[in-house]
Structure 1
Amino acid sequence: MAEQAETLRRTPLSRDRILRTAVALADAAGIDSLSMRNLAQELGVVPMALYKHVANKDELLDGMIDVVIGEIDPPAPGSGWKREIGRRILSARQALRRHPWAPLAIESRTTATPAILAYLDSMVGTLRAGGFSTDLAHHVMHAMGSRMLGFSQELFDPSRQAGRSGPAEPEPPAAMPPEAAARFPHLAAIAAAAAHDDGSVVGSGCDDQFEFEFALDLLLDGIERLHRQGWTSARRPD
């Protein structure tokens, strides 16, 4: 173990090594626990050595996001726009599930990172190659929102109450108090419907992955219909 640690200390410091170590630390203990000091300690260097490769914590976080986005499957032209868009979105979701801190980190940035811009550009390129007008592609990107990156803003996700974001493990639905159920009967009904049988492969609570793919399929089917109709924003009803 001591020899392994010494080998790591002798490994030349690089931006890539810093970012991947930071990602591993965030995966293990959460993004809030990450600091330049404990990152430097993990790498076996003094904190000032990090600043030769990353200017500050913000640049570090941007680089970490780009590492995660880099795990998304690359384009595979020739499979058709619908299959390709769906495949890469689900790949993005898998990447975010490996790094649960990433959705909130992405949301916290005021500008998109280079890797996110490149990914989104390639997705628009897939739509355009599939015959989409720039007009329809523009509205598709709005409709997809964060779902294009593999996560969504769930109205009924209990983790929202704890300030977390992105993909979450299924949790049992919280029972709605009787007075609230009486006031909001429709919400109470779907809250009760969210519970799965105990013997199911999902267990109790909503199947987050199923709900994501269900909505994704609905969106892609609707987009396909508009594309076939030659929809443009100029033809939308008043």
Structure 2
Amino acid sequence: MPRGSASAREPLSRGRVLRAAIALADAEGIDAVSMRRLAEGLGVVPMALYKHVADKDDLLDGMVDTLIGDMPALQAPRPTQWRGAVRDTILGARAVVAAHPWARRAIETRTVRTPAVLGHMERLTQLFLGAGFSPDLTHHVMHLLGNRIWGFSPELFNDPGGAPSPTKRRTSGTPDPQDYPGILLIAADAQARRPGAVGCDEDFEFDFALGVILDGVARLHRSKWASDAARDGG
């Protein structure tokens, strides 16, 4: 196929470039995404891409924005149903991120609050405000939710690749399991509840944490919580 013939059939656009970049990242990982590889896949010269994306950072911002656009935007039918709408919106975001293994890393490394990023934050903010939450409580709830609004939560010492690193490094010694009876107890209990399972059930843990957070948020809302009173010890 001559270079540029695909472009002649379907004009190049920012949206088409971004979707092609997402497909490349899905297939080969985010590190495989380059202007050269993307141009080859689209059947154009690399310079043609710069009419639609300014640089690699703009490309990554656009890829993230495109995925955010795929996230559901739910409205609470009634103020009392805010929790279900928030939960479904966040779990919808999680489903989008889970479908693209590179997305979490890309979201975590973005530093620009694009209109798409702000739009997702605004939709969640309005769910709380529409339920009668004060701006003060809503502000702190958004901080509390943190990265969970994008469908993932921070994990301690979690290897996103899912495999141990082969690199050997110096340590202060080999841990003796008997020195950590609490961890052993938790591990044994988890293994008994999920025989044969490898690692934690991340979807369950995410949903559990989100439920606990929203339970606490609902309690604060009912008590008319305010940050100035909390600082004063009230």
Deviation per CA, 1:59-87: give whole Å up to 9, x if none.
00000001111111122231521111000
Task: Give the gaps of 5 or more residues in structure 2.
Answer: 165-172
Structure 2 residue aligned with 1:157: 158
Name the CA distance, whole Å, in 1 between partners of 2:12 and 2:175.
60
Q: Structure 1: where are the runs of 5+ without partners? A: 164-176
Instruction: Show the counterpart of 1:168.
Output: none
Which has the larger displacement, 86-95 or 8-17?
8-17
Corresponding residue of 1:135: 136
Aligned residue number for residue 107 of structure 2: 106
- Is the Cα contact below 8 Å between 2:128 and 2:138 reproduced in 1? yes
Specify the alignment match of 2:212 in structure 1: 218
Conservation of the 8 A alpha-carbon contact between 1:9 and 1:45 = no
Q: Which residue of 1 aligns with 2:57?
A: 58
Pairing partner for 1:192 from 188, 193, 196: 188
Seq. identity, % = 48
TM-score (norm 2): 0.85
Q: Secondary structure at the match of 1:55?
A: coil
Question: Aligned partner of 2:147: which letter?
Answer: S
SS of 1:99's equivalent in the other structure is: coil
Q: Deviations over 1:75-131 (max 9, x none)?
A: 223152111100000000000011111111111112223211110011111100100
Q: How does 1:5-154 map to 2 (within 5 A)?
A: 6-7=5-6, 10-79=9-78, 80-154=81-155
Q: Is the 8 A contact 1:65 1:113 kept in 2?
A: no
> What TM-score comes out, normalization by structure 1 length?
0.84
Q: Is the 8 A contact 1:194 1:205 kept in 2?
A: no
Matches of 1:197 and 1:82 in 2, distance apart?
29
Q: 1:229 aligned to 2:226?
A: no
Contact 1:70 1:115 (8 Å CA) reproduced: yes
Indicate how the Cα distance of structure 1 residues 159 and 61 shifts in structure 2: closer, same or farther if over 3 A, else same: closer
1:215 aligned partner, one-letter code: A
Size of the aligned set, in residue pairs, is 220
The root-mean-square deviation of aligned C-alpha atoms, in Å, is 2.5
